[in-house]
Amino acid sequence: MKYLFYLFAGVTGVGFCFALLLWLLSWSLQPQASDAPIDVDPDLLASIERDRDVSFDSQRIDTLPRLQVDVDSSEGSDASWWPRGESPILAQLVESGDLPPVRDRTGPEPLVMRGVDGIGNYGGTWLRVASSENDVGVIQNRMSYTGFFRWSPLGEPVVPHLAKSFEPSEDMRTFTVRLRRGVRWSDGHPFTANDVMYWWRDQELSEDLTDGIPPRWMYTGADPGTIDMIDDYTLLFRFTKPYPHFKRIMATYSFYMTQDPEHYLRPYHPTLGDQDRIAEGMQAYQLPSPRALYAYMRNFMNPDCPRLWPWIYRSYKANPPQVFVRNPFYFAVDESGNQLPYIDRLQFAVRSGQMMALSFVNGEVSMQTRHVRYENYTELFDRAESTGMRVLHWYSATRSPWVINPNLNRRIDPERPSTRWKAQLLADKRFRQALSLAIDRKAIIRALYNDQVEPAQVEPGPESPFSSPELRQAFIDHDTQGANALLDELGLTGRDADGMRTYPDGSTMTFFIEYSQFTDIGPGHFVVDDWAAVGVRAILQERARQLFYLHKNAADFDFNIWSGESDFFAVIEPRYFIPHSIEAFYATQWAQWYALGGYYDDPRAKRVANARPPPRDHPMYRAYDLYEQALLAPSRSEQIALMKKVFAIGAENIWTINIADAPPQLVVLDEDMRNVPKNALFGFVAMTPGNAGIETFFFENPVMSQGAIDDVRNAIVNPIARPRLDGSSPDTIDRAIPLGSLIRSVILGIVALALLLIAIKHPYIGRRLLIMIPTLFVISIIVFTIIQLPEGDYLTARLVQLQEAGNADAEQEIEDLRQLFHFDEPMWKQYARWMGFFWFTSLDVADAGLLQGYMGRSMETAQPVNQIVGDRIILTVCISAGTILFTWAVAIPIGIYSAVRQYSLADYAFTLVGFIGMSIPGFLLALVLMVLADVSGLFSPEYAAQPEWTWGKLIDLLRHIWVPVLVMGVAGTAGMIRVMRANLLDELSKPYVTTARAKGVRPIKLLLKYPVRVALNPFISGIGHVFPQLVSGGAIVAMVLSLPTVGPLLLAALFSEDMYLAGSMLMVLSMLGVLGTLVSDLLLLWLDPRVRYDEVTT
Taken as a whole, the chain contains a residue count of 1098
**Residue 347 neighbours by CB under 8 Å, 6+ apart:** 125, 126, 127, 128, 321, 322, 323, 324, 944, 945
690-705: per-residue pLDDT in tens? 999 999 999 999 988 8
For residue 740, what pLDDT band results from cuts at 50, 70 and 90? Answer: very low
Lowest-pLDDT range, 162-171, 563-572, 888-897?
888-897
For residue 733, what pLDDT band results from cuts at 50, 70 and 90? Answer: very low
Which of 558, 201, 512, 530 has the alpha carbon at shortest distance from 406? 558
Q: Which of 77-81, 319-323, 644-648 has the highest mean pLDDT?
A: 644-648
Contact criterion met (CB below 8 Å) for 483 and 435: yes
Q: What is the pLDDT of residue 738?
A: 42
If one counts every other C-beta atom within 10 angstroms of the C-beta of residue 635, the result is 9
Q: Between the CA of residue 980 and those of 72, 166, 170, 1064, what are the distances in Å?
A: 82, 80, 89, 35
What's the rounded Cα separation, in Å, for the pair 800 and 550? 7
Q: Between the CA of residue 803 and those of 391, 446, 605, 815, what are the distances in Å?
A: 44, 45, 12, 11
Contact criterion met (CB below 8 Å) for 234 and 177: yes
For 547, phi and psi rounded to 5 degrees? -70, -35
**Residue 877 neighbours by CB under 8 Å, 6+ apart:** none
What's the rounded Cα separation, in Å, for the pair 255 and 308? 10
Is the peptide bond prior to 321 cis by the omega test (within 30 degrees of 0)?
yes
312-349: per-residue pLDDT in tens? 999 998 778 899 999 999 999 999 999 999 999 999 98
DSSP string, 859-890: TTT--BHHHHHTTHHHHHHHHHHHHHHHHHHH
What's the rounded Cα separation, in Å, for the pair 628 and 221? 7
For residue 973, what pLDDT band results from cuts at 50, 70 and 90? Answer: confident
What's the rounded Cα separation, in Å, for the pair 704 and 694? 19
Which of 970, 972, 875, 975 has the alpha carbon at shortest distance from 925? 970
Mean pLDDT to the nearest integer, 79-92: 95
More confident residue, 1096 or 929: 929
SS3 category, 957:
helix
pLDDT of 44 strictly over 50: yes
The residue type of 983 is: N
Taking each helix axis as running N to C, give the angle between helix 1011-1021 and helix 1023-1033, from 0 to 180 degrees, rounded to the nearest 10: 50
Taking each helix axis as running N to C, give the angle between helix 951-988 and helix 1023-1033, from 0 to 180 degrees, rounded to the nearest 10: 140
Q: Side-chain half-sphere of 159: how many Cα atoms within 13 Å?
A: 28
Q: Residue 589: in which H helix or E strand, if any?
A: helix 588-595
Rg (CA), the chain: 33
The residue type of 245 is: H
What's the rounded Cα separation, in Å, for the pair 281 and 617? 54
What's the rounded Cα separation, in Å, for the pair 846 and 280? 14
What's the rounded Cα separation, in Å, for the pair 218 and 223? 9
What's the rounded Cα separation, in Å, for the pair 1044 and 534? 48
pLDDT of 66 strictly over 50: yes
Query: Percent of the chain scored above 90 by pLDDT?
Result: 47
Q: What is the pLDDT of residue 737?
A: 39
**Residue 36 neighbours by CB under 8 Å, 6+ apart:** none
Contact criterion met (CB below 8 Å) for 696 and 111: no
If one counts every other C-beta atom within 10 angstroms of the C-beta of residue 1048, the result is 24
Contact criterion met (CB below 8 Å) for 466 and 460: yes
Q: What is the pLDDT of residue 880?
A: 73
754-782: per-residue pLDDT in tens? 556 555 556 666 666 677 777 778 888 88
Domains plus CATH for the chain? Answer: 40-137+311-355+365-371+673-736 (no CATH), 403-658 (3.10.105.10), 869-1097 (1.10.3720.10)
What's the rounded Cα separation, in Å, for the pair 205 and 516? 36
Mean pLDDT to the nearest integer, 208-235: 90
Alpha-helical (H) ranges within 533-635 are: 545-553, 588-595, 603-607, 619-632
787-825: per-residue pLDDT in tens? 777 665 666 666 666 665 555 566 666 677 777 777 777
What's the rounded Cα separation, in Å, for the pair 1073 and 406? 47
Lowest-pLDDT range, 107-111, 118-122, 311-315, 1089-1093?
1089-1093
Which of 300, 257, 256, 302 has the alpha carbon at shortest distance from 281? 302
Q: What is the pLDDT of residue 922?
A: 67
Q: Side-chain half-sphere of 755: how many Cα atoms within 13 Å?
A: 16
What DSSP character marks residue 200?
A: I
Q: What is the pLDDT of residue 253?
A: 94
For residue 222, what pLDDT band results from cuts at 50, 70 and 90? Answer: confident
231-289: per-residue pLDDT in tens? 999 999 999 999 999 999 999 999 999 999 999 999 999 999 999 999 999 888 888 88
Contact criterion met (CB below 8 Å) for 440 and 378: no
Q: Between vectors from CA 813 to CA 605 and to CA 137, what angle results, nearest 5°?
A: 100
Cross-strand bridge partners of residue 166: 177
If one counts every other C-beta atom within 10 angstroms of the C-beta of residue 751, the result is 11
**Residue 185 neighbours by CB under 8 Å, 6+ apart:** 191, 261, 263, 264, 306, 307, 308, 329
The residue type of 137 is: G
Question: Taking all residues of the chain, what is their mean pLDDT, rounded to a whole number?
Answer: 84
594-614: per-residue pLDDT in tens? 998 899 988 888 888 788 999
How far does the chain reach from its first CA to its final CA, in angstroms? 52
pLDDT of 1090 strictly over 70: no
Which of 875, 910, 889, 916 has the alpha carbon at shortest distance from 1030? 875
